[in-house]
DNA sequence: CGTTAGAATGCATATTCATGCACGATCGAA
DNA sequence: TTCGATCGTGCATGAATATGCATTCTAACG
């Protein structure tokens, strides 16, 4: 039984597993036969969670959860960003009231190299860039994701 | 609709929500009526995941750890700071998710002369220094307190 | 051995979740 | 304004997941 959990962790890390049935099949390839019921309990015990990403879902370890969905991030930007401005090497992004936080998280998750970090208030967030010269490209990149509605 | 997502994030952080039906009811208390279908989609977009804990399940932000205890300043830094970077005369300090606020307070209390002020978001805070030249020494000072764990 | 308490698992099913489809609202372009 | 494209949503329903209960396995003990 320890074996099984061991395999579960391994399989889940090696390939995207979107549901328990698939996990069940994969385990089968290793000669391990179990029912979905047991897997449900195993996953619960292992603390694995199903996260959205790439359109579909996938089970991951809590640690991996971070980078798991750039796509959802894009949607969030599209959803909440209303305006972009800048000053020096800072980008000032305005959002729908109360949503600066999610947008900041979304940007963080993208892990862009030019971005040093973000700080979010209620409807405004500041994106700190490494150099003023990156203001244009990054703004561009964000606008792209937002859908080029030319905002600001 | 933006309102709804805003509330979802808030509700989910304030109390344990184990399933979408409950979330639906909670939203109802705020005058927001939606179907489970929509919530399923919202949760997907917001990147919330259902994790096991306390016997039951609960929706959480992927990186929720939130443990804002009252620790001594130095201890707080040691506890929550994960990374330090800079740009211009700004220091960008990354912390464990949700703990930028306490860290910022801790730094404020230290009343360092080089520090003009701080602004904290969720997991990032910006420390405004008087001069770019103070970036090195201050970073150094913080690293010292944090325990010199390589960090960024 | 036989007995037994507890853990692990399956089975059947209730519960919860995701999504194809359709329709009304919204936004832009002509 | 009118048309077309897109978006947001509910509805209905199939897919996926969780769980109560019964059964089987395991290990410890007399």
Does pLDDT of B148 surpass 60? Answer: no
Residues A119 and A79 in one domain: yes
Q: For strand C, which nucleotides have at least one atom less than 7 Å from a protein CB?
A: 8-12, 15-20, 28
What is residue B91's predicted lDDT score, i.e. its pLDDT? 85
Residues B33 and B103 in one domain: no
Mean pLDDT of chain B: 75
The answer to whether the C-beta of A21 is closer than 7 A to strand D is: yes
CATH, residue A43: 1.10.10.10
More confident residue, B79 or A85: A85
Domain of B102?
Answer: 67-146
pLDDT tens by residue, B89-104: 788 888 766 667 667 7
Residues A72 and A131 in one domain: yes
Report pTM.
0.57
Sign of the alpha-carbon dihedral angle for A32, A33, A39, A45: negative
Does pLDDT of A40 surpass 90? Answer: yes
Q: Is residue B151 part of a domain?
A: no
CA of residue A4 to C1' of nucleotide D29, angstroms: 30
Q: Is residue B55 part of a domain?
A: yes
The answer to whether the C-beta of B40 is closer than 7 A to strand C is: yes
Residues B79 and B125 in one domain: yes
* Beta-bridge mates of residue A129: A115
CA of residue B36 to C1' of nucleotide C23, angstroms: 19
What is residue B71's predicted lDDT score, i.e. its pLDDT? 35
Residues A21 and A43 in one domain: yes
Candidate from B22-31, B33-42, B132-141 with smallest mean pLDDT: B132-141
The answer to whether the C-beta of A130 is closer than 7 A to strand D is: no
Residues A74 and A7 in one domain: no
Q: In this structure, are strands B56-60 and B81-87 parallel, antiparallel, or unpaired?
A: unpaired
The answer to whether the C-beta of A101 is closer than 7 A to strand D is: no
Q: If contacts are CB pairs under 8 Å, which of residues 116-135 in chain B contact chain A?
A: 119-126
Candidate from A116-120, B65-69, B113-117 with smallest mean pLDDT: B65-69
Does pLDDT of A7 surpass 60? Answer: yes
CA dihedral A104, A107, A112, A118 (to 10 degrees): -10
Number of H helices and number of E strands within chain A?
6, 6
Q: Is residue B152 part of a domain?
A: no
Q: Is residue A152 part of a domain?
A: no
Does pLDDT of B73 surpass 70? Answer: no
**Final residue belonging to a domain, choices A60, A82, A105:** A60
Q: Is residue B99 part of a domain?
A: yes
What is residue A68's predicted lDDT score, i.e. its pLDDT? 37
Q: If contacts are CB pairs under 8 Å, which of residues 60-89 in chain A contact chain B?
A: 62, 65-66, 68-69, 72-73, 75-76, 79-80, 88-89
What is residue B114's predicted lDDT score, i.e. its pLDDT? 72
* Beta-bridge mates of residue A92: A85, A126
What is residue A23's predicted lDDT score, i.e. its pLDDT? 94
CATH, residue B106: 3.30.1360.40
More confident residue, B4 or B72: B4
State the total domains in chain B.
Answer: 2
Q: Is A49 helix (H, G, I), strand (E, B) or coil?
A: strand
- Closest protein residue to C17 (Cα–C1'): B40
Residue A65: phi and psi, rounded to 5, are -45, -35
Residues B51 and B71 in one domain: no
For chain B, say whether A138 makes contact (Cβ under 8 Å). Answer: no
**Final residue belonging to a domain, choices B41, B60, B79:** B60
């Amino acid at each position: 039984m320890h074996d099984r959990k061991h395999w579960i962790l391994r399989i889940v890390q090696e390939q995207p597993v979107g549901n328990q049935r698939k996990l069940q099949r994969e385990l089968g390839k290793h000669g391990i036969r179990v029912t979905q019921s047991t897997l449900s309990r195993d996953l619960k015990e292992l603390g694995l969670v199903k996260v959205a990403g790439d359109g579909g879902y996938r089970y991951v370890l809590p640690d991996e959860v971070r980078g798991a969905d750039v796509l959802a991030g894009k949607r969030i930007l599209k959803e909440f960003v209303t305006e972009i401005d800048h000053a020096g090497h800072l980008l000032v992004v305005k959002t729908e009231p109360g949503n600066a936080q999610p947008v900041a998280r979304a940007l963080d998750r993208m892990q862009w190299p030019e971005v040093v970090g973000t700080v979010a208030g209620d409807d405004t967030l500041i994106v700190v860039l490494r150099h003023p010269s990156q203001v244009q490209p990054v703004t561009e990149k964000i606008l792209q994701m937002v859908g080029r509605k030319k905002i600001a």
